[in-house]
Amino acid sequence: MEFASRHRTIFLFCVWTASISLIVIETFWLFVTRPARAGMFWCGGAPMFGELELFLLLIVSAVIGMLLFEPKPLIVCYVGSIFLSFAIGVTYIFLYNWSLFGRILASIPFGWEYGCFAAILNVFRILFPFGVGVCLLGAILGSTLRESLNL
């Protein structure tokens, strides 16, 4: 039984991480592809979650919280999925920035660091504090809902 429970926990961790990462990437992509805001991420424009993205994070986190109702796996999966989603988002945005501005950044000494810093800054703006808080709220809500309904 322990073997199946561990695999289920790993699967739910991967689903939660993929969901958060895809929502972060979608938020960045929508921000960059809007014609009025294209190119603003270098000069102060900030991609942020909208209401739909926050609602999706809440629903996904609540479902994961209902399926992982034990506290220890829930906390471990929450912290791990936030950090891994941050890393996946930074990697995607760095590669996207490098594909657009690679020639410019390559001509500057340590130019890749500027691209990496811009990616970290954008993902940090997207994910913290609202994304992290909504995921935590959804996980607690799902776990509490499962306990109160005795599912």
pLDDT, tens digit (0-9, with 9 covering 90-100), for 133-150: 999 999 999 999 998 988
> Is the residue at 39 inside a domain?
no
> Is the residue at 123 inside a domain?
yes
* CA–CA separation, 122 and 41 (whole Å): 8
Q: Which residues span the domain enclosing 7?
A: 2-32+49-149
111-127 and 71-107 are packed helices; what angle lies between their axes, rounded to 10 degrees? Answer: 140
> Is the residue at 37 inside a domain?
no
pLDDT, tens digit (0-9, with 9 covering 90-100), for 19-72: 999 999 999 998 887 766 555 545 556 788 989 999 999 999 999 999 987 889
> Is the residue at 122 inside a domain?
yes
* CA–CA separation, 114 and 104 (whole Å): 11
> Is the residue at 25 inside a domain?
yes
> Is the residue at 38 inside a domain?
no
Three-class secondary structure of residue 62 per DSSP: helix
- 70 torsion bin: left (phi>0), alpha (psi -120 to 50), beta (else): beta
The number of domains in the chain is 1
What pTM does this model have?
Answer: 0.88
Are the CB atoms for 89 and 126 separated by under 8 Å?
yes
